[in-house]
Structure 1
Amino acid sequence: MSRLYDSRKRILVTGGAGFIGSHLVDRLLGEGHEVLCVDNLFTGTKRNIEHLHDNPRFEFMRHDVTFPLYVEVDEIYNLACPASPVHYQHDPVQTTKTSVHGAINVLGLAKRLGCKVLQASTSEVYGDPEVHPQVEGYWGHVNPVGPRSCYDEGKRCAETLFFDYHRQHGVEIKVARIFNTYGPRMHHADGRVVSNFLVQALRGEDITLFGDGRQTRSFCYVDDLVEGLVSLMATGPEVTGPVNLGNPHEFTMRELAERVIALTGSGAEMSERPLPLDDPRQRRPDITLARDLLDWTPRVELAEGLAETMHYMKRRLAELDEVTRT
């Protein structure tokens, strides 16, 4: 008992009521830590953390990270920011402020406390890449004035701030570049391809393919991603990142649609729509660095992860239908 107490940390997770954040909170609590979950519930939801409210080591604070946060913690995971195009384009100014002001505030807190801070960055920093697969040393091909720029450039600026605080103030930082992640607790209407395809197939609707469906993505199951984040945080001060975290197995959107149709038993057809502006043509991480530094590689195959996500989406759609009927 004393050994567990000595190793227990009080850990702040911003964006902790979100899709990835809530799974990270579960993992940290499962390791015996105390967790302070901070979220303004713009895209996060209390539903994702309602099973934790009786846990004496869990605390929830409704707060917007664009404002300073005055708490005492041992580590910080900064996951606060809408991550799907539908959500981050809804209020692009606020999205940029969340990335930039949020980074300044968590870094200022980490500086004051002398603690580690991990930034959940994104593969979107690579933009529509001209290097494939993407390695951490690639600077990216990003449109700074397009509809996705609030997220892409916001996250790029956040990385800049993390490294400047590290160089100027000695803050111990970790930067993870997260590639497409999926799994239970995804928002059913977040506009991301896995949730879109599953919801459309389960509702018996045609599956929407943007463009010709030959653009690619690599899909990492949420449990694997959380393992990568925790492993990165556990490294020593010499490891700052950025480190790619994602699944290197690449699929076209048409292949994903075919898998979803087969999995759900849907008779859905595929309906092509114009490709959105600045939508990347291909996306696949080079995870050599994560393998070497963290001994990390994804383990959950797409078939297994899609099945788990489908079961969640079925339950969620049934809940929504019940609400509609009442």
Structure 2
Amino acid sequence: MESMEHGMAQLILDSLPSPVLMSDLHGRLIFVNRAVEDDLGVERGELLGRPLIEALYQGRKFDRRGKYRSALMETLETGRSFNARFMEVKTVFHQLPRFFLVDTFFVHSSGGQLLGACAVYHDIFRHRELLKRAVMSRLTTISEQFETIYAFAEAIGARDLYTMGHSEKVAEYARLIAEALGLQEKEVDLAYICGIVHDVGKIGVPENILNKPGPLLPEEFVQITCHPDKGAAILSHISWLEQVVPVVLAHHERYDGRGYPRGLKGEEIPLLSRILSVADAFDAMTSDRSYRRALPVPVAINELKRNAGTQFDPRIVEVFVQVLLEYQF
């Protein structure tokens, strides 16, 4: 009977759409479900029996900030379980960091013996509510009022198929760049907020233009170019976002002065706007659009380099590329 129950439990875990990993008390992988294979593109036989950190992280337990790369390993070594913890995940099988809400817990036998620990990874970009919970977990220490403005970002995501998850990824990339530049924590948080709301002005752009599968007509492009002004106007009515307004207004300016809406040049453009410009362009290139498939990461990196000094601040491109290359191990 117990073996039947065990087999049924394995079948259920293998059918879950979320990746599930289990390790023994020594950190060796003893179970991964089918979703892990699908996510990583690797057969489970290549992972089972191997130390978790070696199999997925090339032996590097901590990231460049000194934080655990694996929530599962952190639970094993610290004894702390996590409930819907927001985590940036980058294994040797991922070209770019992925973002999950992670649950971890200890596993016991029917007799009460401690067998190991388990982690379940919920992909935040599959469900808008998970996405919202992830964003809120990032920002609870910044302002309770943020839920008000995130409603605008959600409204855009509902109208613009591409924007679903785009703003959140831009926010994460902007945060990574700000951290790599050595900005203070307050500025890093501000970079994240700006990423979340940078496209809020698209609320005033017709849906058929936002989701048009082909090139825009000149008059349609003009409407798109108005969204930084519209976004700044919306945000200017919220007093605690006064520092965000000039950043959103300038996030489509170019380093060579040929951007919009003001034609600002070089360091006339706010630093966080220059960060957003790089983060925004990179996510645009590496995401599927209605008119083209996502570009490979190396191609997108080369495009950033090619446009450094013209479209982008070369220092920010250099820093971001370095961060991305670190993720390549």
Quick check: TM above 0.5?
no
What is the TM-score when the length of structure 1 is the normalising length?
0.23
Structure 1 or 2, whichever has the larger Rg, is: 2
Q: Which protein is richer in strand relative to its size?
A: 1
Q: Which protein is richer in helix relative to its size?
A: 2
What is the TM-score when the length of structure 2 is the normalising length?
0.23
